[in-house]
Structure 1
Amino acid sequence: MPEKISLDWSNKDDIEGVSFPRDTLNRAKYATFLTQFLVGQGFDETREKDDQKRNYVLNLNSEWGSGKTYFLKRWSHDLKAHFPVVYIDAWQQDYSDDPLMTAISSIIKQLREQAKMPESSPKFQLPKKALGLLKAAAPGFARSMAKRYLDMDLAAFLQADDDSELKDAKDSEGNPIDLSELASTMVKQLIDEHDGKKKAIDDLKVHVANWVQTVTETQQLTYPAFIFIDELDRCRPSYAVEMLETIKHIFDIKGIVFVVATDTEQLQHAVKAIYGEGFDARLYLGRFFNSRFSLKAPDLKSFLEVHTDISKLSGEYLESAGIQILPPNEDAKVTLSNISVILDAFKIPPRTAIQIADRVVATISNMPNGSKIDILILTTLLCFYEENHERFQEIIAGDLKFQNKSGNEAGLNEYILDHFENCESLIKMQINPMEIICTLTPSDYGPRLNTFGLATYVFSLRLYLVEVFIKFFSAPSFIFISSINSQYDEIAPINDLFKELITNSKKEPQRIGLLWFKILNIHYQVDSIKASEYRDYVELASALDLIEEDAEHD
């Protein structure tokens, strides 16, 4: 094998007709590490000759949204240049009642293709003994005999305490029947079936090992072979468990490494669905795997960039559509980052985060020319709506009441302070204030030339919620009526903002950022939007439940 295989996913790649984008979640380093680790487990020429090849099963634990399928597809594709590789999407094939057939058919087909041999090649044919194993006719034969002659279940027949229970047996029509010969036939059939299965399994293992060897020899590849099993946690519980049993007891073949990718927590639920809630599913699953590697979920911003269409958030689109959003950003990724800051603060789970981000985008893309909106208010309200519909309505109505930690009744102000006490995340705003407002006219001062230039202005989400969100939904007087053609010195609120801006011009960057947000809020008349309009936006968008596909990035 190569001394070290380094995987590079910095560019997009087309795999079996599907385009996979570059590795924005920086996963290639994990694939490189796991490759070296698993190669050492599955094949090591420095070990004793009869121990050079080993069987190994890795559980790749990955929660939804962490890029599991993308990871496996790109990893397995790249490994084909070095090793025999099989990729099995278990969920796409769980319509079958036979996981063994699923595995065998995939192994034969993909190894044969990797060896570049025709379908008729005698080297890649399923042995006749294995066909008998797959059909598993004997148990059905025994069951049918018990049902035919006794009108009873096979298990009940076999659990009879003694021969006396069989002497008085009658067939399904009530006629006496001597079961001694029938019992003997059935027991012999079951024993023969068990022995036949064992021989078939042994024969199957030999053939699989030979198929792998054929690929290594014809394509100058090396051991071990990699077999990837994806989406097992999405399968029917019985199918998932049977697939694990198949891997454990039938494919424990030296020189083969299995990578079984699951959301292990979900797979544990599947196991409990079969064996009961009190069953120790974690311990049970542990016996199938040699080790577990957990693929960490990405940060929410990176996650949303993969799953959300952000083209409608770009400055170019918004300008062409005649839509003004706050905070303004030319780069759509910065706006998405601001959305993710709020979702993170609410601890919104990944699936719901995608839906809320999509609802923000859907709202903006359906706004008519001349519209304006504060996406921080919109996103915050969407989170409140998802959290608690009743609380959302109370916020809109301006009469939120809740019981605080002291047991006293409190309002929106204390609710925000309590729930976002440790929130230090920053909102970003890319603007050039000099191009928007040339002259500042603070109260108690004469006109001043605006010297605030192009920059990324920042302010904390918590500060925004306290000084903008709370005031918007609890103080009607906060809504100022303004016009871009108005004389600013006639509008007390904005003059006060200018005054504070000049006072803090060389201090507290976050304070300056929030002051500019407030100024733009008045300047663009975004502050004139009514609470009822935000309510309509939220309720309309939330009625749209987007059913996400588990795309290649999952």
Structure 2
Amino acid sequence: MSKPNKLKKCLQVEIDAADPFKNDVLDRKANIEILTQFITSYEQSIVLCIDAGWGQGKTTFIRMWQQYLKNQDIPTIYFNAWESDYTDDALIALIGEIGLVIDNLSGEDKSKAKGFFSTIKNKIGYLTKDASSKEWLTIGAAFGSLISGGRIKVDKIAEFTANLGASLAKDQIEKYEKSKQVLFEFKQALSRLAECYCGDDDNKPLVIFIDELDRCRPNFAIEVLEKAKHLFNVDNIIFVLATDKTQLGHSIRAVYGQGLDVNGYLRRFIDFDYLLPSPVKSDFIVSLSKQLGLNKYLNAPPSQFPVYNYTLLNILKDITNLYKLTLREQEALCNILNIIVRTKNQLTQEEYTLLFFLIVLKLKFPDLYKSLNKENKRNFIYKALENINSQYTFTTDNNTFHLESLECMLLTVIRTNLYTPDEKMIEDYVNTYDFDDEKKQKLINSLPIVGTYQSNILSLLIIKNAIEFSSSFRLD
């Protein structure tokens, strides 16, 4: 007896220590090799930003890059800013991460590193946000002594504040002079510590990756940027930020106001931006389907495309590319699909195509997806068709037969003749979007095939109910 299918969930891409690109379905190797050459060509400290939107694979990219650098004997540190967001001071969190990797060193380098790290810890008290809080507690206690029995000694307070003003001015000057010296010694110790990680090779800086900055509290995100640029701006250290700069901009405006020039502000901290190439035309969806065991459902050629030998997985890839689904959205789509194929009776090949489309609407256009109901069928179909055509660009490869088939399936939901596809409806559809003759012919050629499938609003609602059922599951 065959074992029942087990429900799986999408897993993070495994980074193989020996070959970090073993599972590189996004073809990131060339990007990482070029960036490595770029950062090792600089003698001074720089801050490089890897900019990409939510769900575009930033974390996997820098984890893969980190392992690649390790294999090149280039020292690295990974700092997840969001996981450290609970701390009160970003500087302490950053220094803590640096200290954690000292034990990875050996011999004389390890001994030296511990000495420099001890110096850094002694200096850090002067540089943290709470460094001056104790003096104000002392002042507050002294001020409180001038209040007796609920009565304020006015003459004493006047004398105290006059002396306090002169004393504070003197203290502030002394503290400023002290802080400059402390900062110099801090940076010097930090640079020497980085040398311990790097060895004698000047072309091997300490690379500190900062991830998830755009998910942090606005104040914490800004503080990480400030500390990275001002306090860690020393030889032998390179910072790589992986963040969505658009989202980071929202965080910065939340602190400094909506009128702030975010790009100008970020130029103070970020030396170079690298826009991570979009992965939408990759085989990531194929890799996910294999990982979840969906490929056996999706690799059979659909019966309506025997001449084209087109599989359901091909259709899924093309719809994914048409709608430019992010990696996270592709994972969400596969998770929903994974549940449906295991909890619903066998779907027809036409229903799979409609299922792919409705899941995409749920992920990308939830308002349109929610509008699907019996009372709104005609309006939903027209808006759905409009949505499909809004995705096409001049660069879109429209040389695929199934997309016209999908459009015709949707049109048959509102066809006027129950038994024969309405060519007049196709004609109106073509005129609405001013399609060329090639597109029109593809639609007409699809009619006889689609006509064998009785698509209606009920079939769409059944598929929608299956999608909603899948939403009741939680995959941790």
| 2:41 match: secondary structure | helix
Q: Deviations over 1:362-387 (max 9, x none)?
A: 32221135877522222333445563
Q: Deviations over 1:232-284 (max 9, x none)?
A: 11111111111111111111102222212211111111111110111111110
Report what 2:3 is aligned to.
none
1:29 to partner: Cα distance: 0.6
1:532 to partner: Cα distance: 2.0
| 2:88 match: secondary structure | coil
Residues 205, 236 of structure 2: 8 Å contact kept: yes
Equivalents in 2 of 1:509, 1:290: separation in Å? 47
Q: Paired residue for 1:268, among 239, 249, 265?
A: 249
Residues 55, 326 of structure 2: 8 Å contact kept: no
Report what 1:155 is aligned to.
none
1:338 is aligned to 2:338: no
Equivalents in 2 of 1:143, 1:476: separation in Å? 84
1:75 to partner: Cα distance: 1.2
Q: Which contiguous aligned blocks of 4+ residues in structure 1 show a shift greater than 6 angstroms?
A: 116-121, 169-172, 324-329, 420-424, 508-517, 545-549
Report what 2:81 is aligned to.
90
Residues 417 and 509 of structure 1: is their aligned pair in 2 closer, same or farther, counting only changes over 3 Å? closer
Residues 89, 128 of structure 2: 8 Å contact kept: no
Report what 1:38 is aligned to.
39
1:137 to partner: Cα distance: 5.1
| 1:261 match: secondary structure | strand
Larger Rg: 1
Report what 2:9 is aligned to.
none
Report what 2:7 is aligned to.
none
Query: Number of aligned pairs?
Result: 433
Residues 306 and 246 of structure 1: is their aligned pair in 2 closer, same or farther, counting only changes over 3 Å? farther
Report what 2:133 is aligned to.
140
Q: Deviations over 1:502-538 (max 9, x none)?
A: xxxxxx999899969965984xxxx357532431331
1:459 to partner: Cα distance: 0.9
Report what 2:175 is aligned to.
193
Equivalents in 2 of 1:317, 1:418: separation in Å? 25
Q: Which amino acid aligns with 1:296?
A: P
1:69 to partner: Cα distance: 1.2
1:185 to partner: Cα distance: 3.3
1:468 is aligned to 2:459: no
TM-score normalized with structure 1 length: 0.65
Residues 382, 542 of structure 1: 8 Å contact kept: no
TM-score normalized with structure 2 length: 0.74
Report what 1:435 is aligned to.
none
Residues 138, 190 of structure 1: 8 Å contact kept: no
Point out where structure 1 has 5 or more consecutive residues left out of the alignment: 1-10, 43-53, 152-168, 403-409, 428-457, 481-507, 550-554
Equivalents in 2 of 1:327, 1:357: separation in Å? 23
1:123 is aligned to 2:124: no
Equivalents in 1 of 2:329, 2:68: separation in Å? 33
| 2:274 match: secondary structure | strand
Residues 375 and 254 of structure 1: is their aligned pair in 2 closer, same or farther, counting only changes over 3 Å? same
| 1:400 match: secondary structure | helix
1:282 is aligned to 2:252: no
| RMSD over aligned Cα atoms | 4.3
Equivalents in 2 of 1:370, 1:287: separation in Å? 56
Q: Deviations over 1:80-102 (max 9, x none)?
A: 23323222121121211111111
Residues 84, 221 of structure 1: 8 Å contact kept: no
Residues 82, 221 of structure 1: 8 Å contact kept: no
Residues 327, 375 of structure 1: 8 Å contact kept: no
Equivalents in 1 of 2:366, 2:416: separation in Å? 22
Matches within 5 A, 1:71-82: 71-80=61-70, 81-82=72-73
Q: Which amino acid aligns with 1:102?
A: A
Q: Paired residue for 2:96, among 105, 128, 131?
A: 105
Q: Which has the higher contact order (CA 8 A, sep 6+)?
A: 2
Point out where structure 2 has 5 or more consecutive residues left out of the alignment: 1-12, 422-437
Q: Deviations over 1:400-448 (max 9, x none)?
A: 249xxxxxxx957985796577696558xxxxxxxxxxxxxxxxxxxxx
Report what 1:552 is aligned to.
none
Residues 81, 213 of structure 2: 8 Å contact kept: yes
Q: Paired residue for 1:67, among 57, 69, 78?
A: 57
Residues 289, 334 of structure 2: 8 Å contact kept: yes
1:361 to partner: Cα distance: 3.4
Residues 277 and 389 of structure 1: is their aligned pair in 2 closer, same or farther, counting only changes over 3 Å? closer
Identity score, percent = 22
Report what 1:536 is aligned to.
462
| 2:273 match: secondary structure | strand
Residues 471, 478 of structure 1: 8 Å contact kept: no
